[in-house]
Chains A and B, each alone.
Chain A
Amino acid sequence: MELAIVAAKALFILLLILQVMALGVFFERKVSALIQDRIGANRASILGFAGLGIINTLVADPVKFLLKEDIVPAGADRVLHFLAPCLAVIPLLVTFSVVPFGDVLVIGERVINLQAAELNAGLLYVLAMASLGVYGVIIAGWASNNRWSLMGGVRGSAQMISYEIAMGLALVGVVLTWETLDLQAIVRAQGELLWGWIPAWGILYQPLGFVIFAVAGIAESKRIPFDLPESESELVSGYFTEYSGSKHLMFMMADFVEVVLVAVLVTTLFFGGWQVPWLARDGFHLPWGGSVLLPSIAVAALQVTSFALKLVFFTWLQIVVRWTLPRFRYDQLMKLGWKGLLPLALVNVVLTALAILLWGERVA
Chain B
Amino acid sequence: MTPLGWYMGLSALLFAIGVFGVLVRRNVIVIFMAIEIMLNAVNLAFVAIARHQGSMDGQVIVFFVMTVAAAEAAVGLAIIIAMFRNRETTNADELATLRW
Q: When A and B assemble into the complex, do they touch directly, with CB atoms less than 8 Å apart?
A: no
